[in-house]
Structure 1
Amino acid sequence: MSTPVLQSDMTSSVRAEYPRVGLYIDGTWIYDRETAVEVRNPATEEVLGKVPKATSDDLAQALGAAARGFVVWRDTPPQQRVKVIQKATTLMRERLELIASTITLENGKLYSDAYAEADRSMNFFEWNAAQSLRDYGLIVPGEAQMQKFILRQPIGPVAAFTPWNVPISSAARKVSAALSAGCSVILKAAEETPATACLLVQAFEDAGLPPGVLNLVFGNPAEISSTLIASPVIRLVTFTGSVGVGKHLTQLAAAAMKPVLMELGGHAPVLVCEGVDGAAVGRLAARGKTNASGQICASPSRFIVHRSVYDEFVAAFASAVGEVRVGDGFSKTAQMGPVASARRLSAMQSLVADARQRGARVATGGSRIGDRGYFFEPTVLADMPVDADAMTVEPFGPIAACLRVDDLSEALKVANSLSVGLAAYAFTNSLQDAERISRELECGVLSINHFGTPDADTPFGGVKDSGIGREGGPSTLDAYMVTKTVLQKTVRI
């Protein structure tokens, strides 16, 4: 059954004008550059604005600014750094409606989801700032006339690359950790969602962050990444995005002998075990799958279901998904927005076509909606062969692939068969099965009996091809710090 598009019923009270997009280098906004790309509203395909392209001179200036800004920020007392971060966070909280509205315009996700993302992102600034005041060094007991100090110091200027799907959340994770640790940052945000990054940077400018400590660039991604990573100024490379791009950036960093922090793609399995209420889990899965149109790296994608509950799970899942109302993110009644681009729309169509060709059943959805805007029906594919594209390639969209299995051993084998391992989910009433899944499922984050993901106080990241390092939790600043050992003889010479 076709899912309706809600193109009217707009919540005009929260819809703001689209902010101007610029580069921000050494405390100055730059607008008068050649256009890199045009930003389009995924719901209407209208052009929202233009993104200026950083020149080679701009990148050189950003590197010089980050080098100078690092010296200033490194030598600023942690308590004072925290005050600036807290002030910027307060300003962003006051501007949450503008930030959320901008995310919806650029990304297409529901305004309520955009607001929740922006609100949650403030937790990263607050947690990391507070954590910086607890990041102590050590004094090691030693022999007479020898003092041993272990110091924790900021690593240096950071090149941070962030994606379009969570434009405030990902930037907040990286900028908050870097600034809290005492590092300067060159933020290369996604050209698809540039104004959201501009609003974040504007808050720090208004909070009094010294020039050069936080810089923002857009343009040719390959040119920017190769220039920044090769520069001796940059001491850490952090990226959130696809596995392919992450591996490329890691290779560039390795050639320059620089550490990386990589949060890469996944293809999250959902294990639905024997003995659960299949219909209840199916209804829960509908919201988990359609959140942000399935365009988040932790989105549940492969539903691996015990045969005893498979039929009731798929029936309930497909029924609930088929009732999801798709429309403009500003609609009062829409429950899912568009996918982000024509490219994502084409990818969804290709995955469904491949599944059909291989004998899978389209339980609901499967088609584009309308001919304007990038709307696609939330889709449940049943009886999937394990080698279908939707089972092996991260869909990054509102497509769920369902497969029946005979037991937990088979479910774990299918779940672990891919080279990625970011998020995973499991539904079980057996403590024994929960313990086994926790031990054997290859992933960085496992949620049992719910579709939640970590907040600022717990680590997030993947295993295998899904990344290197962790963001969040007690060790959230580790990647942004270096450990220095000082051995001091207490004798006169």
Structure 2
Amino acid sequence: MTEPHVAVLSQVQQFLDRQHGLYIDGRPGPAQSEKRLAIFDPATGQEIASTADANEADVDNAVMSAWRAFVSRRWAGRLPAERERILLRFADLVEQHSEELAQLETLEQGKSIAISRAFEVGCTLNWMRYTAGLTTKIAGKTLDLSIPLPQGARYQAWTRKEPVGVVAGIVPWNFPLMIGMWKVMPALAAGCSIVIKPSETTPLTMLRVAELASEAGIPDGVFNVVTGSGAVCGAALTSHPHVAKISFTGSTATGKGIARTAADRLTRVTLELGGKNPAIVLKDADPQWVIEGLMTGSFLNQGQVCAASSRIYIEAPLFDTLVSGFEQAVKSLQVGPGMSPVAQINPLVSRAHCDKVCSFLDDAQAQQAELIRGSNGPAGEGYYVAPTLVVNPDAKLRLTREEVFGPVVNLVRVADGEEALQLANDTEYGLTASVWTQNLSQALEYSDRLQAGTVWVNSHTLIDANLPFGGMKQSGTGRDFGPDWLDGWCETKSVCVRY
């Protein structure tokens, strides 16, 4: 019997039916470009909406709107407490429209409606309110000069934190609302203006959220959204002379290109990039904890999570037990559309990405790798890939070293923890890692030695607003979140007064 799907809200359907343009200077409007981008439902492959495909002139309009808003100080010049109140009102409006936003996310991205409700909206609200609170915590320091000159001269010195200016926020397609707000909120809390470019695959929620920002009282021009391709729209945004900071989340290859562009103007950058994230399971680990924790840590959002565990190194005494447990868990997963409340694995975001993930599996199968597969999903519909375990894959396989970004996990037997640690660190990436053990000494040792920006013990993919997050090696530069988050969106100015 087919489970009923969540009914699409009338306001969601009305939003899908709009002729979407861009959001510039506090209002939606048509683009100068006449090109359109089709938006597809990953569960069916059918077109559900379209948006403008912005060109260079459109991007210039958006950036100049943000620049005018910044230099006029219509936002940066407001009292921090006033900015905080408006941002909290913004969060309240997002909460009031939570089901609408969750449905838009699922329809354009494909993920489970439960994940859209809990993560895309629920967690986003936590981050919004946390960041709004930082608005009134921006502070400089009063400093004594170490060697005043001339001798006997008297000085008073201090530092100020000032908003960096216009920010370009480039958002990926895996968590469009949540990651989008990770860029919008610190920019606005710091007093910056921002131009957001969502992925051309998943632009709808950012367009809707921009309307809520204006309703909350954020001044015109402070929050702008341009939709379009990375090659044209994204390139024009990251190279614009009035952009002072770029915040990008996405692939390492694209991030490197953005860094090269930014270097020409010394534009500040924060890059959160790819990962090939390891989990080390030591022989004393609790098997039930491991299976429950790493099934979520690996298959959340179909593995389309930058922090997901994709390489699991298991000490030999536990290996067979865990392979059997993971196999049972994977084969029990229900596969179906995101709007089905019972589906646990949903379609991937697009046909192109689905084909890419399948190419990794085709390569592994051609090399006689041992694959354990779950259900395939509805026949002939959507962009489904069966959740797959790859048992002891050859080191030469692409999926052992490259980021797959899909529901594919390697299970690797190791002789001991030292071998696991060596293999875990043998990668160009360094975003996240986890270690599973009941031994506190080992937990502390391995968390020190793992080369990753975030290391969890007995969990994986827990991200919190108060805990800095970012990558080592080729997984990025800079950190988001935490009490000092806004430092990355501010300039530090030193002031020295002789009297």
Band the TM-score falls in, shorter-chain normalisation: over 0.9
Equivalence for 2:325: 316
Once the two structures are superposed, residues 296-336 of structure 1 have per-residue CA deviations (whole angstroms, 9 ceiling, x without a partner) of 10111011111111111111001101110010111132112
Is 1:124 aligned with 2:121? Answer: no
Deviates more, 1:11-20 or 1:330-339: 11-20
Structure-2 separation of matches of 1:246 and 1:66: 23
Q: What 5-or-longer segments of structure 1 have no aligned partner?
A: 1-5
Equivalence for 2:77: 75
Equivalence for 1:87: 89
Once the two structures are superposed, residues 319-357 of structure 1 have per-residue CA deviations (whole angstroms, 9 ceiling, x without a partner) of 101110010111132112111111222122211222223
Contact 1:426–1:448, Cα closer than 8 Å, also in 2? yes
For the residue of structure 1 that corresponds to 2:176, the secondary structure is: coil
Contact 1:263–1:467, Cα closer than 8 Å, also in 2? yes
Contact 1:458–1:472, Cα closer than 8 Å, also in 2? yes
Contact 2:35–2:54, Cα closer than 8 Å, also in 1? no
**Letter paired with 2:392:** D
Equivalence for 1:59: 59
Equivalence for 1:400: 409
**Alpha-carbon shift at residue 374 of structure 1 (Å):** 0.8
Is 1:420 aligned with 2:420? Answer: no
Equivalence for 1:12: 7
Contact 1:237–1:261, Cα closer than 8 Å, also in 2? yes
Distance 1:182 1:418, change over 3 A: same
Distance 1:253 1:449, change over 3 A: same
**Letter paired with 2:424:** A
**Alpha-carbon shift at residue 365 of structure 1 (Å):** 3.4
Once the two structures are superposed, residues 84-139 of structure 1 have per-residue CA deviations (whole angstroms, 9 ceiling, x without a partner) of 11111100000110000000000110001001121101122211121121121111
**Letter paired with 1:363:** I
Contact 1:391–1:401, Cα closer than 8 Å, also in 2? yes
Once the two structures are superposed, residues 371-395 of structure 1 have per-residue CA deviations (whole angstroms, 9 ceiling, x without a partner) of 2111121111112122321111111
Structure-2 separation of matches of 1:332 and 1:132: 37
For the residue of structure 1 that corresponds to 2:365, the secondary structure is: helix
**Alpha-carbon shift at residue 361 of structure 1 (Å):** 0.7
**Letter paired with 1:132:** T
Contact 1:277–1:309, Cα closer than 8 Å, also in 2? no
Equivalence for 1:449: 458
Contact 1:103–1:114, Cα closer than 8 Å, also in 2? yes
Of residues 312, 328, 332, the one that matches 2:341 is: 332
Distance 1:190 1:51, change over 3 A: same
Task: Calculate the aligned-residue CA RMSD, in Å.
Answer: 1.8
Of residues 429, 436, 446, the one that matches 2:438 is: 429
Structure-1 separation of matches of 2:50 and 2:451: 42
Equivalent pairs, count:
485
Contact 1:368–1:375, Cα closer than 8 Å, also in 2? yes
Deviates more, 1:465-474 or 1:334-343: 334-343
- Structure 1 stretches of 4+ with a deviation exceeding 6 A read none
For the residue of structure 2 that corresponds to 1:176, the secondary structure is: helix
Equivalence for 1:165: 174
Once the two structures are superposed, residues 153-209 of structure 1 have per-residue CA deviations (whole angstroms, 9 ceiling, x without a partner) of 111110110011000111111100000000000111111111111121111011121
Q: What 5-or-longer segments of structure 2 have no aligned partner?
A: none
Contact 1:366–1:379, Cα closer than 8 Å, also in 2? no
Contact 2:114–2:341, Cα closer than 8 Å, also in 1? no
Of residues 136, 146, 154, the one that matches 2:155 is: 146
Deviates more, 1:48-57 or 1:417-426: 48-57
Is 1:214 aligned with 2:203? Answer: no
Once the two structures are superposed, residues 392-417 of structure 1 have per-residue CA deviations (whole angstroms, 9 ceiling, x without a partner) of 11111111111111111111111111
Contact 2:8–2:103, Cα closer than 8 Å, also in 1? no
Contact 2:112–2:341, Cα closer than 8 Å, also in 1? no
For the residue of structure 1 that corresponds to 2:172, the secondary structure is: coil
Contact 2:41–2:109, Cα closer than 8 Å, also in 1? yes
Distance 1:95 1:396, change over 3 A: same
TM-score by length of 2: 0.93
**Letter paired with 1:437:** Y
Contact 1:36–1:220, Cα closer than 8 Å, also in 2? no
Deviates more, 1:366-375 or 1:107-116: 366-375
Equivalence for 1:22: 21
**Alpha-carbon shift at residue 370 of structure 1 (Å):** 1.6
Equivalence for 1:3: none
Equivalence for 2:112: 110
TM-score by length of 1: 0.95
Distance 1:165 1:345, change over 3 A: same
Distance 1:28 1:222, change over 3 A: same
Deviates more, 1:288-297 or 1:349-358: 349-358
**Alpha-carbon shift at residue 22 of structure 1 (Å):** 2.7
For the residue of structure 2 that corresponds to 1:327, the secondary structure is: coil
**Alpha-carbon shift at residue 256 of structure 1 (Å):** 1.2
Is 1:98 aligned with 2:97? Answer: no
- Identity fraction in percent: 32
